[in-house]
Every structure is written in C-alpha cells, then in structure tokens.
Amino acid sequence: MSLKKHFLLFAILLVVSLSAQASSIDTLLVRSSSMKKDIQVMVVVPDVVMKGGGMSCPVIYLLHGYGGNAGSWLNIKPDLPKIADEKGLIFVCPDGKNGWYWDSPKNLAYKYETFISSELVKYVDSHYKTIANRKGRAITGLSMGGHGALWNAFRHHSVFGAVGSTSGGVDIRPFPKNWEMAKQLGELTSNRKLWDDHTVINQVEHLSDGELAIIIDCGLNDFFLEVNQNFHQCLVNKKISHDFILRPGAHDGSYWNNSIDYQILFFQKYFKKQ
C-alpha cells in the first residue's frame, strides 16, 4: 500500500474515532445567588447539541455522595460522554459539598436545595439546548445524592418529572453521628423534629401517585439496605408507583457503575413517553 493510501486510511480512522467521541465535558462555575458563591458543575454535552441551536435534549442531573465532588460521577462512569452521544442526553453533575442537598435550617451557607432545583436548572436551560420543562428533566444520585435527588424531586415535582436513587440514604435518622448531618440539622437528640422533617422518607406522605416516575435500587450488601426496603414499603403503603430493584453489590463504585445504566434506561423510557 502506498504512503498516500496509508495516510488516507489513517485520516479516515481518525475522523471515525473523533466522531464516535464528539461529546464535550464543560467544567463550569455557576453562580449561586442564595449562597453568594460559585459552584463547580460538570456538564456532559452530546454531539447532537449545539449551544444556541440544534436538537433539544433531555437532562439528567447526577448528584454525588458524601465526600464527593462535581467529578465523582465521571470517575465512577467514565463512559458517560459515550452514553450522552448514543442516547442524546445531557448529564449535569454539580458539586454539593457535604450538604445533603437541603437548605440547611442551621447553616445559612448551605442552600443546595435552592441551588439544585432553581438556580442550576435555570442556568442549564439558559445555556444549553434543553427540553426546558419537567418532562425533559430527571434527577438521581448515589448515597447522600440519592437522598438529595429524592428530596429535591419530591419537593419540586413541578421542576423534575423523574427521579432515582442508587444506594440512597433514604432515612437519615438511624445514622445521627455520620456524614456531618448534625452540622446541617443539629444533634438529633435536641433537634428531633428537624431530623424528622428533613429525612426524605417522611416526604412520601406529601406525594401522590403519578406525580413522578420513580426508580430506587440498592445492593444486598449495602449498609443502607434496610432503610431502602423500608422506603419501598412506605411507597407501597401509599400506593405510589415505582420501580424497586435489589441486586448483589455493596456501597461502592463497582455497584454504581452498573446500577446507573438501569436508571438511565428508566429515564430514557420516561422521556420517550412524554
């Protein structure tokens, strides 16, 4: 084969390779007026989206767990850009610090519910070609982020149409000494009502069937297994439709790398129905 043909073959392979990974990962600082600071956010943008034009895409917000950051989900699931391209989805991964995605009643510097469900959504819709209503938005997360996703969606189902939790801390009260929750709510013994009011399992009573598409999963070796089983039963008792999946696995990246595929499929089916 001639040198010219070798070069042509190389060029073709290069173009194919680049087109297969045409999505971009934008690392942003998004201003939170409520917290008076900039929040790091990573946005995975599929190739079908051109800022200011092109195809409008649904958005999945991915919340990290305790000790994580805006890059956690891309570390756990490095092929998110490929999935974004294949399925025509935008992924938004904000840094929630260790704030549990509430507006803390004790610490005014932590207003991550306002940021996630209002400020960030408005920013994303104004800077990317999104389906800018609840029918084109889903939110999920792992561990602390699973609680945060459910908390925000249950309280803002006019913003989000679908919600998930993987290995979520869906009832915080059995863990009063863990994960800095007392910094946001005070000690459990002297602030029991705040803890009751800020655990997502107690938000189920305010939910009606059909308001949200819901998927929950947990590993059989996860320390959050019991609270997830209780959460599932609470939804059953309230006759709230949802998918509940138990599969082998622990509270770790290997489990989440696998579980998020099923949640993305669930959300994609929801988006297609709208």
pTM greater than the 0.75 cutoff: yes
Domain spanning 24-273: CATH superfamily: Alpha/Beta hydrolase fold, catalytic domain (3.40.50.1820)
User: CA triplet 186, 192, 197: central angle to 5 degrees?
Assistant: 95
- Percentage of the chain beyond pLDDT 70 is 90
Per-residue model confidence as pLDDT tens digits over 7-25? 334 333 333 343 445 678 9
Query: What confidence category does residue 53 fall into, taking pLDDT thresholds of 50, 70 and 90?
Result: low
Q: What is the pLDDT of residue 7?
A: 34
Percentage of the chain modeled with pLDDT above 90: 77
Which one has a higher pLDDT value, 244 or 16? Answer: 244
Write the DSSP symbol of residue 136: G
Residue 51 has pLDDT above 50, yes or no: no
Confidence of residue 199 (pLDDT cuts 50, 70, 90): very high
What average pLDDT is seen over the chain?
89
Domain-wise residue ranges, the chain: 24-273
Examine the pLDDT at 47 and tell me if it is beyond 60: yes
pLDDT of the residue at 180: 86
Contact status, residue 163 vs residue 267, Cβ threshold 8 Å: no
Nearest to 64 by CA among 205, 168, 176: 168
How far is residue 157's CA from residue 207's CA, in Å, rounded to a whole number?
A: 9
Q: How far is CA 253 from CA 73, 111, 171, 181, 205, in A?
A: 9, 27, 21, 22, 32
**Radius of gyration, alpha carbons of the chain:** 20
pLDDT digits (tens, 9 = 90+) for 98-150: 989 999 888 888 999 999 999 999 999 999 999 999 999 999 999 999 999 99
What's the pLDDT tens digit per position in 73-93?
999 999 999 999 999 999 999
User: What pLDDT score does 8 carry?
Assistant: 34
Predicted pLDDT at 12: 34
Region 33-57 average pLDDT? 84
